[in-house]
Amino acid sequence: MKYTVIEHFSHPHLLLWNSAETVPYQCDGCKELGFKACYRCEYVDCDFHLHEECATASSSTFHTFFKKCDFKFHEKAPGECPRYCDACGKDVLGFVYQCTHKKPYDLHPCCVKLQHTIKGDGIELKLSKKVSSKCLKCQSKEVSKGIKGWSYVSTCGQYCYHVACVKDMVLENWKNGNFVQQSDAIELSSLEMQSMVPSQELVMQCGESSSRRKGSRYWSIAKLVLQLIVSAIFGDPTYGVVAFVESLFSN
């Protein structure tokens, strides 16, 4: 059961469930970008938002990738040292789950809830903690030195994107003001969209065949894979985020 009105310790006003959020926002819980439906302040002039996962976070949780860990919820990460999310590799700036080990793991509330399997148009992707393929965006197996991060990998093993890289792609375009409000959807310019998928030349190198036909098909599938991952991370439907990835097919 989804509550349409809630109280939350992080805000003095009531929060209302908004299933039609069409403008990108920063979650005031985890401080991460949001596109999907969320809880927002009852007062229109109060720009307070919480991801559903942050608004309804439980005091403890677990994750199958860390079977021996018991994760506790924190309004901010304990201690003075900077922390990063072990799923997406991004800094922990607000709400977080941290395990109780001496060298603890940290997970954003939204990352805890990432789908383990996503499917669409004959493509199946698995959320993976360890990968044998390089990310199609950064061409590396690690998000950064010493940080592996999680990835979505196709069952055939040819298509792989770091969760971190997909979040970076969307966040960069948001910061650059490339999202524009059109009617009730968020769209992105064709030029900016092109930077979000591997070039045809790169895909030709990555694919199992160098032929133009197979390279073109590989490129199209790579874009579909990206669409599925964006949808999984930012919500389904993602009010225009999915739409602008879909439009890549016509470019």
- What residues of the chain score a pLDDT lower than 50? 181-193, 201-204, 206, 208, 237-239, 241, 244, 247-251
Q: What is the pLDDT of residue 226?
A: 83
Q: What is the pLDDT of residue 233?
A: 85
44, 123 contact by CB (below 8 A): no
Q: What is the pLDDT of residue 76?
A: 94
Q: What is the pLDDT of residue 144?
A: 84
Q: What is the pLDDT of residue 124?
A: 93
**CATH no., domain 5-55:** 3.30.60
Mapped onto helix, strand or coil, the DSSP state of residue 250 is helix
For 96-143, write each residue's pLDDT tens digit. 999 999 899 999 999 999 999 999 888 899 999 988 889 988 999 888
Domain coordinates in residue numbering, the chain = 5-55, 60-111, 115-162, 175-250
Is 200 buried (19+), middle (13-18) or exposed (0-12) by CB count in 10 A? Answer: middle
Is 6 buried (19+), middle (13-18) or exposed (0-12) by CB count in 10 A? Answer: middle
Q: What is the pLDDT of residue 199?
A: 53
Q: What is the pTM of this model?
A: 0.81
Q: What is the pLDDT of residue 251?
A: 44
